[in-house]
Structure 1
Amino acid sequence: MGKAKTIYVELDIRAGMDALWNRTQTPEMHEKWDLRFSEIRYLAKRTPDEPQRFLYATRIGFGLRIEGSGVTRGSIEEASGRRTSVLRFGSDSPLSLIREGGGFWRYIPHEDKVTFMTRYDYTTRFGPLGHLADRLVFRPLIGWATAWSFDRLRLWLESGIPPSVSFGRWLVHVCGAWLLALLWMYQGIVPKLIAPEAGELDLLRAAGWFSGWERGALAVLGLAEAGFGLLIGLRSKDRRVHAWAAAALVVLAIPALLADPDLWASPMSPIVLSGAMLGLHGTVACMSEQLPSAGRCRRRPGKDC
C-alpha cells in the first residue's frame, strides 16, 4: 500500500485578516470551532523569539482523552500581506493513532475575503494495522473534520453564528434527517415487502385499487418509499425533498383512511405516525440553512499551495 495523501483544505472566508488570525491563533478561540481539539493551551515563552509551544487534548468519549504537544511559529509576508503559521505536533498517548506530524496554515488576502488553507501530514503507530486503519477510516474522517470545522469558522466570522450554536443546529438537522430516512425505509421495506400480510395488503384491497394486482403494487410502493428514504438522507438540505415528502405522506394517508376510517383512533395509528413525520420534516427543512458543510471546502491544492 502506497503513501497516503496529505490532508489539504481550502476555504474563502469573507472577513478581515486580523479577525481570522485572532480566531485561529488564539487558543481560547481556536478550540471553540475546531472539531479536532477539545483543549488547546499555549506554554509560556522563555524568550520573545522562541517558537510557541502548546499542549492539546481531544476527548474521544467514555471519559477518555488523547493528549499531545506541539510547536508553532507564525510569519507575515509584508509585501503581499500573506500570513503563514507552521507547526509540528505529536502525541505519546497509547490511544493516539497519530505519532507525529506537521503542516501549515496559510492566509491569502483579497479585496473582500481571505483564502484560508491548511496542509498537513502525520505518521501513525500500531504498524501495518495502524496504517491500514488510517487509510480506510481515520484519514478520511480527520480530513472531513478539518473541512467541516473550517466552514463552522466561516459561519462564525461571516454570519456571527457561534460555533456551539452551529454545531447544535447541524446535529439536530442530521439526526432528524436520518431518523426520517430510516422511518421511510422501514415503512417501505418491512410492512410492504417483508410482511405485507400484516395489514398493508388488506388496506390496499379494501381501498379497491389495483384489483388483482395489489401485491405487485404494494411491492412497487415499498421500493419507492425505501428509495425516497435514502434520498432524504442524502439530500436533507434540499427543501423540495421535504415538500415532496409532506405531500406524499398526505396522499398515502388518504387511501388508508378510505379503507378503514377507524384508523385514526387505533392504538398504533399510522395517522399519528404520519403527523409526527410531517412535523419532523418541517423542523429539518427549517434548519437546513446556515449549517456547516465540509463540501464547501476545496480539497485539492492549487498554485498557491
Structure 2
Amino acid sequence: MKNTPIYVEISIDSDIEEVWKATQEPHLHEKWDLRFSSITYLPRVDNQPQEFTYCTNIGFGKKVVGWGRSVGEFHLEDGSRTSSLHFGTEQAISIIREGKGYWKYRPQPESVLFLTQYDYQVNFGRLGRWFDQLIFRPMIGWATALSFDVLKRWLEKGENPASQFIRFFSYWLMTILFSGIWVFHGLVPKIYAMHPEEITMMRDAFPMDLSMAKGLLITMGIFEILLGLCWIFYKQRKQLFRLQALLFPLFMLVVLIASPSYIAHPFSPLTFQLSLWVLSIIGLWISHDVPTASSCKRRRTG
C-alpha cells in the first residue's frame, strides 16, 4: 500500500519574515500547530543540524514525545525559502515511527505562499498501515490544514491562536449537540415511543382527535430529524443558529399558553427550551469567521 504524502498550501497576506518567525521559533510554532503541544530546541552544535524534541498530548493523560532534526535551510535568489525536517519517535504507542518533510515559503506580490509536504513510516505493521490510511492520515492532514488557517488568521488579523481554537471547538461541540438533540427528540419520543406526554401537549396546544395528533406528532418528528441532519450537512450553520433563536421562544410561548402546568414539571420544557435558546444565541455570536481546514489547498499541482 503506497502512501500519499500529506500536502497543505495556503496564501498568507504577510511579510515573509513574519511567516518565517511564526513557524521557525518554537514558542510561536507551538501556539498555532495542533500537531504539537510543545516544541523545545536543543543546544546547537556548530555546523550541525538544529535538533529539537516535541510533545503531543493524545488524551487520557497520555502523550507522545519525539525528536526532530532540521536537516537544511535554503534561501534562493527569488526570495523563497525551504526548511527540511527529519522527525520520529521511539515510543511504541505512536502510529508514526519516522518521517521527513519540508516547509516552503514563496514570496508573492502582497503575500507569502506557505506550503508543506511530508510523509512517514508507521508502526504496528499491516494493521498500522490500514489505520493510517483510513483514519490517522486524513486526520493529521486535516489538523495541518486547520493549523495553517489559524496561522493565517493570526498573522493577518492579529487574533491569538488560542482564542481561535476555543471558538472552533465550541462551535463544533454546539453543532454536534444540536444535531443530536434534534435527531433524538424527533426519533425517540415522537416516532419510536410516541410518548403520551408528547401527544397530550400536542392536543392541549391544538385541539384535535387522537389519530390526528399522532399523525402530526410523526410529522414533527420527521421535521426534527431533518433539522438535526442539517446541522451536519448544511454548511451555512449561522442560519440554523438564527432559526433556533426564533423557534425556541416560540416553543416556550406555545407551552406556556397550552399547558402552564408543565412549568412545574421535574424536567420542565420551559427551562429546556430556554437553555437551548441561550446556547443558540452564543452559537450565533461565535459562528463568525470560524477557522476551517477547507481554506487550504490539499493537492499539489505542477
Length-normalised TM-score, structure 1: 0.92
- Which runs of 5 or more structure 1 residues have no equivalent in the other structure? none
- Separation of aligned partners in 2, 1:207 and 1:282: 26
The alignment status of 1:287 with 2:302, answered yes or no, reads: no
8 Å Cα contact 1:155/1:290 also seen in 2: no
What's the counterpart of residue 54 of structure 1?
52
1:84 deviation in Å?
0.9
- Separation of aligned partners in 2, 1:267 and 1:89: 56
Q: Give a deviation string over 1:241-270, Cα, whole Å, max 9, x none.
A: 111222233444444444323223433221
8 Å Cα contact 2:252/2:274 also seen in 1: no
Q: Which amino acid aligns with 1:229?
A: G
- Separation of aligned partners in 2, 1:106 and 1:197: 60
Moved more, 229-238 or 37-46: 229-238
What's the counterpart of residue 128 of structure 2?
130
- Which runs of 5 or more structure 2 residues have no equivalent in the other structure? none
2:95 corresponds to which of 94, 97, 122:
97
Moved more, 225-234 or 14-23: 225-234
Secondary structure at 2:93 match in 1:
coil
1:1-305 counterparts in 2 under 5 A?
A: 2-47=1-46, 49-72=47-70, 73-78=72-77, 80-208=78-206, 211=209, 212-235=211-234, 238-303=237-302
1:197 deviation in Å?
3.0
Q: Which amino acid aligns with 1:283?
A: I
Secondary structure at 2:98 match in 1:
strand
Secondary structure at 1:71 match in 2:
strand
1:140 deviation in Å?
0.9
The share of aligned pairs that are identical, in percent, is 38
Q: Which amino acid aligns with 1:194?
A: Y
8 Å Cα contact 1:237/1:285 also seen in 2: no
Secondary structure at 2:2 match in 1:
coil
Q: Which amino acid aligns with 1:225?
A: E
8 Å Cα contact 1:177/1:236 also seen in 2: no
1:110 deviation in Å?
1.1
1:237 deviation in Å?
5.8
8 Å Cα contact 1:31/1:39 also seen in 2: yes
Length-normalised TM-score, structure 2: 0.93
- Separation of aligned partners in 2, 1:258 and 1:187: 22
Moved more, 252-261 or 83-92: 252-261
Q: Give a deviation string over 1:33-52, Cα, whole Å, max 9, x none.
A: 111111212222222x3222
Moved more, 277-286 or 215-224: 215-224
